[in-house]
Amino acid sequence: MTVFTDEQKIKYLQDIVQIKTVNDNEEEAANYLAGLLKEYGIDSYGVKYDEGRVSLVADVKGQEEGKLLVLSGHTDVVSEGDPFYWTYDPYAAEIHDGKMYGRGVNDMKAGLMALVLAMIELKEEGADFNGTIRLAATVGEEIGMYGSKQLSEEGHLDGADGFLIAEPSGQGTIIYAHKGSLQYEIHAQGQSAHSSMPEVGIDALQLMVDYINNSNEKFAEAFAKGTNEDLGDTINVNTVINGGAQINSVAEKVIMKANARTIPEVDNQVVLDQINAAIEEVNATSKGELSLNILQNNYFATSPDDNPLIEALVNANENPEAVSRETIGGATDASNFSRISDEYDLAIYGPGDMSVAHVVDEYVEVQEYLDFVDIYKQAIKDYLKV
Amino acid sequence: MTVFTDEQKIKYLQDIVQIKTVNDNEEEAANYLAGLLKEYGIDSYGVKYDEGRVSLVADVKGQEEGKLLVLSGHTDVVSEGDPFYWTYDPYAAEIHDGKMYGRGVNDMKAGLMALVLAMIELKEEGADFNGTIRLAATVGEEIGMYGSKQLSEEGHLDGADGFLIAEPSGQGTIIYAHKGSLQYEIHAQGQSAHSSMPEVGIDALQLMVDYINNSNEKFAEAFAKGTNEDLGDTINVNTVINGGAQINSVAEKVIMKANARTIPEVDNQVVLDQINAAIEEVNATSKGELSLNILQNNYFATSPDDNPLIEALVNANENPEAVSRETIGGATDASNFSRISDEYDLAIYGPGDMSVAHVVDEYVEVQEYLDFVDIYKQAIKDYLKV
């Protein structure tokens, strides 16, 4: 038994892709989903992050008490860039040769809509399960992960046993863990002077080099203290550097961006401790001043690769052996969800190829999207079985 | 006896300031000077550097053979920037409260015109002197010192005994030596990769840091080998750094600009040798590639602070004791002239305050400009006295 025809499922996805939510305006998408849920008797409530930015929470209850499974997808998308480069209008959700094109269709409105439709169908079908299915449609995942942070901190997901995040992994790959990601800037403040008289200035470029040398030593020592068998080592990469105004002036200011990827054994705070220690040591011996600006501090998320949610999703495939269990370097909303409890079942699994996210001509295979509705339904029933 | 009235002298300066020569179009200024010289029977010839860019050379001969004194000024100016910030039109040469305003009036059309007028007046007056007064009005001093390089290399100034360069020092300060200036870029070429997988990329930022560490050691050792009693030490400052595209990508390319200031004892080639050795050593141990791009390679210019040309100019002042003899960090066309011979009399001395060069509302005191015509005349006669 199914509640929706394929045409309906496709139409709903087109509708939500056509709502432009570039790191803003998620309220319109939340309202759309709330309306759809309401049609099938499912109440929901919004959690306002900012003007026009609302995350959505909705529950479907099973027969008896049981586990709490959170189904999550973010409603924001990244910018489409210059539409000139797109073959089709990035917000038209046109279908050509079995692919639906549009900004965010892959990352991750197809996954989110498949979760919502699975939830509705399970309710309409009166499916047998215990516990609670909770939708958490989040704002601002692409920049800052604001929605998942707010929902986690304000208690909306308390007691969750499992998190199913419908990020585009593709049907053949399921993710059970990912590293944390710490993004930060180091500012080196010096004082300008003509390059013929550097002694009257303070060289911010050399100050930054002193910091890099000092922190590199500290990172090497601290990062050697632990390895995660799934995720490998914590690493740090200094990625972007800009500073100095002109060739004949001592640099007054240099800013460096950096990105650390963390594991539970050597976590974000360990990285921050090394940075702060390096800054303190270099500042103590310089007239200039180094400072730290944290841009994003997303934790790792880890779970066994055979946790019950992973098993349920893998087994919902016609050919379970064809699904590989993997980890990824990038962070997801699970970074915030994972901080709610020490133990949880995590699965990141959704329609679409990860490599198509954020690019021009982003698309999802329509059939894969439709298949995922059924995979989700079966896996949810399995995970919450009576 | 004077040939020109003050009004004429002022008018000539206004004329040449009104010819816009922002690192180009110097031919128009050269033609203007050639016409003025021709009116008084002085032949000149142009030395073409490029389309629209011509340096000018002209001689006035004394009674008998004698020394060759080169009078030099550059005809190019730096950009006026945004005229919005100027109180007066930067190319109108308006006079307010005894100051003439305009781009290049200070650096260094007032000095150049004072030299030209002094030369004409000496000829018209039939002044007593031996040897040759040679005007060398150069193109492109502000960027690349192209004119002085060409005139020197092509032999137009061969046999010169003295160089009087009318850069704005102000009447109270005369310059007898300056450091060389080597401006260059270091390019670090790596390979981009996602910051979660730095091992598949080549980190251009760390490559640059390795270069800085290596070269700093070499500079410290090499620069300690000599000090000039007038100019001090050779120094190097890394001044501008830019690289990396985004926070979550290993930097593919980092470019650093740097400026070394050199003395005869530790000259430009010594600096270049250290740079090349550092590049070679770091490249040998890295998958990335460092390379050097020389932007400007201007040599120092040195002369005793009591050389006959300095003495003649100081003594041409009403109060010689009030003129201080100094060195500067910046380079002038003397960087090229000085390579013609091992020994020469150098004086850098002209109307205008050095601090007013290159700024908005650049100006020269009209009276100082007029005074310099007389100072030059007297000093030239003294230096080339029978």
Q: Which residue of A lies nearest to B183 if distances are taken between CA atoms?
A: A247
Check: CB of residue A53 under 8 Å from CB of residue A24: yes
Whether the predicted pLDDT of B181 surpasses 70: yes
Q: Which CATH class is domain B180-298?
A: alpha beta
Check: CB of residue B42 under 8 Å from CB of residue B79: no
Whether the predicted pLDDT of B3 surpasses 70: yes
Q: Of A26, A27, A107, A141, which is the active-site residue?
A: A141
Return the closest-CA partner of residue A118 out of A316, A353, A336.
Answer: A316
ipTM over 0.90: no
Q: How confident is the model at residue B283 (pLDDT cuts 50, 70, 90)?
A: very high
Q: For B25-45, what is the mean pLDDT?
A: 98
- CB distance from B206 to chain A under 8 Å? yes
Q: Which of A189-198, A377-386, B191-200, B322-331: highest mean pLDDT?
A: A377-386
pLDDT at A1: 58
Residue B251 has its nearest CB partner, among A239, A245, A254, at A239
Structure tokens at B79: 């950009």
Distance from CA of A94 to the nearest CA of B (A): 31
Torsions phi, psi for A14 (to 5 deg): -60, -45
- CB distance from A341 to chain B under 8 Å? no
Whether the predicted pLDDT of B368 surpasses 80: yes
- Across the interface, do B241 and A240 touch by the CB < 8 Å criterion? no
Return the closest-CA partner of residue B380 out of B203, B117, B150.
Answer: B117
pLDDT tens string, chain A, 386 residues long: the values are 578 999 999 999 999 999 999 999 999 999 999 999 999 999 999 999 999 999 999 999 999 999 999 999 999 999 998 899 999 999 999 999 999 999 999 999 999 999 999 999 999 999 999 999 999 999 999 888 999 999 999 999 999 999 999 999 999 999 999 999 999 999 999 999 888 889 989 999 999 999 999 999 999 999 999 999 999 999 999 999 999 988 989 999 999 999 999 999 999 999 999 999 999 999 999 999 999 999 989 999 999 999 999 999 999 999 999 999 999 877 899 999 988 887 899 999 999 998 888 889 999 999 999 999 999 999 999 999 98
Instruction: Give A333's contacts (C-beta < 8 A, 6+ positions apart).
Output: A72, A74, A138, A141, A145, A147, A148, A165
Tens-place pLDDT, residues B127-158: 999 999 999 999 999 888 999 999 999 999 99
Check: CB of residue B54 under 8 Å from CB of residue B140: no
Whether the predicted pLDDT of B1 surpasses 80: no
Average pLDDT, chain B: 96
Which percentage of chain B shows pLDDT scores above 70? 99
| Residue B2: Cβ within 10 Å count | 14
pLDDT at B304: 95
Question: How far apart are the C-alpha atoms of B2 and B300, rounded to whole Å?
Answer: 37
Q: Which CATH class is domain B6-179+300-383?
A: alpha beta
**Which positions 254-313 of A are in contact with B (Cβ < 8 Å)?**
254, 256-259, 261, 295
Chain A residues with beta carbon closer than 8 angstroms to that of B256: 205
Length of chain B: 386
- CB distance from B2 to chain A under 8 Å? no
Residue B241 has its nearest CB partner, among A195, A197, A243, at A243
**Domains B6-179+300-383 and B180-298 equal at CATH topology level:** no
pLDDT at A311: 98
Q: How confident is the model at residue B314 (pLDDT cuts 50, 70, 90)?
A: very high
Question: How far apart are the C-alpha atoms of A332 and A147, rounded to whole Å?
Answer: 11
Domain boundaries, chain B: 6-179+300-383, 180-298
Q: For B297-323, what is the mean pLDDT?
A: 96
